[in-house]
Amino acid sequence: MRLKIELNDNSGILHMEGDLTVHQADNIKSALMRALNSVDMVIVDIKESSEIDLACLQLLCSVHRTATSMGKKIALSEHCPQPFKEISALAGFQRSTCYTDGCLWKSQE
């Protein structure tokens, strides 16, 4: 797995490549929190990820709640790989209506 943070003024992009699984959860969480502690808005780019599991989805959800409580924002990049779309839909994360500001799981389709 490779993580790269690009910071621009008050926003940043966290590029995550490779396996985004429970085995990488600590590294993913650390990178997300470093990015959130540096900027007010973080875009998570997972388009180059090869495997994503439920632990990663739960971690993204948790970090989103943390960001909201910090008065910051986190969002997924527009281009999500098919495995991400499939696992998030099968796990019940994707929805058409959300009641949370900036919900990660609101379907764009």
17-33: per-residue pLDDT in tens? Answer: 999 999 999 999 999 99
Give a yes or no: residue 99 inside a domain: no
Residue 49 three-state SS: strand
> The pTM is what?
0.85
Query: What domain range is 79 assigned to?
Result: 2-90
Give a yes or no: residue 55 inside a domain: yes
Task: Please state, in angstroms and as integers, the Cα–Cα distance from residue 79 to each residue in 46, 49, 90, following that order.
Answer: 8, 11, 19
Give a yes or no: residue 97 inside a domain: no
Give a yes or no: residue 77 inside a domain: yes
Kindly report, residue by residue over 35-75, the tens digit of the pLDDT.
999 999 999 999 998 888 999 999 998 999 899 999 999 99
| Token output for 34 | 């470093």
Handedness of CA 5, 53, 109, 102 (dihedral sign): negative
